[in-house]
Amino acid sequence: MKKMGRKRTWQARLKRICFKDCVRFIDDVAGKEHFTQLLQVEHNTWFNTDDKTKPLWRVVVNGSQILFVFHHSVCDGRSGMIFHRSLLAALNKVTRKQEESGQEDIFPTDFNVPNYELMPESMALFRLLGMRFNIYIGLLSYLFSILVKFFLRKNYTFFTDVIFKDNFPSKDNPVPLPERPLTKLKRICLSPSQLEASLNACKKHKTSFTALIGTLIHVTLACEVYPVAKLGLSYFAIDLRRFLPAEYSSIIGNYVSSHQSNQWLNIYRQAGVMSPAIDTQIAHMWQLSQRTKADLDSAMLTHHTPLPVANALGLTAIGEDDETITTGIYHVLDVAVTKSFCVSSLVEPNFE
């Protein structure tokens, strides 16, 4: 039902973009630590959504790397990979003769946006494919959130030491810049040999690297950070393109959802407590990882409408105006934002 006096936000496409508005060249040492700092700074630089003349994305180029930064209303994480693959494909089209000529093309300061036909919005496409939001699953999920928020003892979940404000931001009353959250980035890199060994071990134990990471985080939080917590809440980001026709595998847009995973933490502490029986603990860790993988597979493969798709469709049922969406999403995602962690994997589904 449409309500008087409320606002709606519509997506639009700029016809012309200024090069300087979306591409920035910087002088920066290309070391890993400097690049990590660059990632953190760019992530904490908010877009001005009130300026309708500029795109909500930018490209930052330093000595050896290219960083694609975007507002989450524009696209999802895998879209970043699609962008970089497209950019590499374009760069690789430059012939050796062109490269050795030393001639630089004169690049315009402004350029027109190609008037490509827009692909159908993801949720509308899922409905066309016969997928539907399951109101019963949505109701159970909402009741579970209410139970956790109001009836579970505060120290029985993760992140009870983090303070969140109760008031909701809105388009007319946004959170002031100094009060917005800041991302702190830590980077852990596996060598190619370590990654290969990890993936082979996951394959041998019939689990996935994503499920293993989620298990290790649960064990670490339960044993070392929140030793009193009883219930571990987590989310796995799911790329919905795997449920769409093949041509959507290279489309930039928002095709992401999540799957909620709730775990009693006692069994994770048993796997994480130091003891002489290290082989038994390792076997227990693999069992927990296998269980997580089985839960993910069930959510994605055993329902007519995969649960991550149903979750995404459920968000569209909240409402259409900005005010309803803002309050509705904050109520629905309150527990997800304040009491859980999210594991997001960008590997191809075939490699999981």
pLDDT per residue over 201-225, tens digit each?
999 999 999 999 999 999 999 999 9
For residue range 17-32, list pLDDT tens digits in order: 888 889 999 887 666 7
Task: Judge if 201 and 279 occupy the same domain.
Answer: yes
pLDDT (0 to 100) of residue 313? 85
Q: Which amino acid is at 322?
A: D
Q: What is the pLDDT of residue 247?
A: 85
Judged on CB neighbours under 10 Å (0-12, 13-18, 19+), 45 is: exposed
- Average pLDDT rounded to a whole number, residues 95-106: 63
Q: Do 238 and 132 reside in the same domain of the chain? A: yes
Q: Check residue 276 and give its pLDDT.
A: 64
Instruction: Give me the percent of the chain exceeding a pLDDT of 90.
Output: 36
Burial 177-216 (b: 16+ CB within 10 A, else e): eeeeeeeeeeeeeeeeeeeeeebeebeebebbbbbbbbbb
Note whether 67 and 153 are same-domain residues. Answer: no
H helices of the chain, in order, are 19-22, 32-43, 77-91, 96-101, 122-128, 135-150, 192-204, 209-220, 266-272, 278-301, 307-316, 322-332, 334-339
Give 233's strand partners.
Answer: 262, 340
- Alpha carbons 199 and 210: distance in angstroms, whole number: 10
Its sign, for the CA torsion 228, 167, 7, 180, is negative
292-327 burial, b for 16+ CB within 10 Å, e for fewer? bbebbeebbeeeebbbbbbbbbbbbeebeeebebbe
pLDDT tens for residues 33-79?
788 888 999 999 999 988 888 999 999 998 788 999 999 888 999 99
| pLDDT, greater one: 16 or 134 | 16
| Cβ contacts of 193 within 8 Å, gap of 6 or more | none
Residue 279: is its pLDDT beyond 90? no
The pLDDT of residue 104 is: 58
Same domain, 74 and 176: no
Residues near 196 by beta carbon (within 8 Å), at least 6 away in sequence: none
Q: Per mean pLDDT, which range of 260-264, 277-281, 286-290 is the poorest?
A: 277-281
Residue 102 pLDDT: 59
In a domain, 332, yes or no: yes
Q: Are residues 185 and 83 in the same domain?
A: no
Residues contacting residue 243 through CB under 8 Å, at least 6 positions apart: 126, 129, 131, 306, 309
Residue 4 lies in a domain: no
CA distance 110 to 98: 24
The whole-angstrom separation of Cα 22 and Cα 35 is 19
**DSSP symbol at 54:** S
The per-residue pLDDT for 59 is 95
According to the model, what pLDDT value does residue 105 have? 60
pTM of the model: 0.86
Task: Looking at the structure, tell me whether residues 286 and 337 fall in a common domain.
Answer: yes
Looking at the fold, whether 233 and 267 belong to one and the same domain comes out as yes
Residue 237 sits in the same domain as residue 316: yes
Mean pLDDT of all residues belonging to the chain: 85
pLDDT at 115 over 90: no
Domain identity same for 61 and 200? no
Contact (CB, 8 A) for 180 and 46: yes
**Rounded Cα–Cα distance for residues 241 and 254 (Å):** 10
Q: Are residues 163 and 310 in the same domain?
A: yes
Q: Residue 172's domain spans which residues?
A: 122-351
pLDDT tens-place string over residues 126-179:
887 888 888 888 888 888 888 898 888 889 999 998 887 777 777 778 888 888
Domain count within the chain? 2
Radius of gyration of the chain (CA): 23
pLDDT at 221: 96
What is the torsional sign of CA 39, 45, 50, 51? negative
What type of residue sits at position 265?
L
Confidence of residue 351 (pLDDT cuts 50, 70, 90): very low
26: amino acid identity, one letter: I
Strand ranges of the sheet holding 57-61, from the earlier edge strand across to the other edge: 23-25, 57-61, 66-70
Claim to verify: residue 105 and residue 134 sit in the same structural domain: no
Q: Is 82 helix (H, G, I), strand (E, B) or coil?
A: helix
What is residue 234's predicted lDDT score, i.e. its pLDDT? 94
**What pLDDT sits at residue 2?**
62
In a domain, 11, yes or no: no
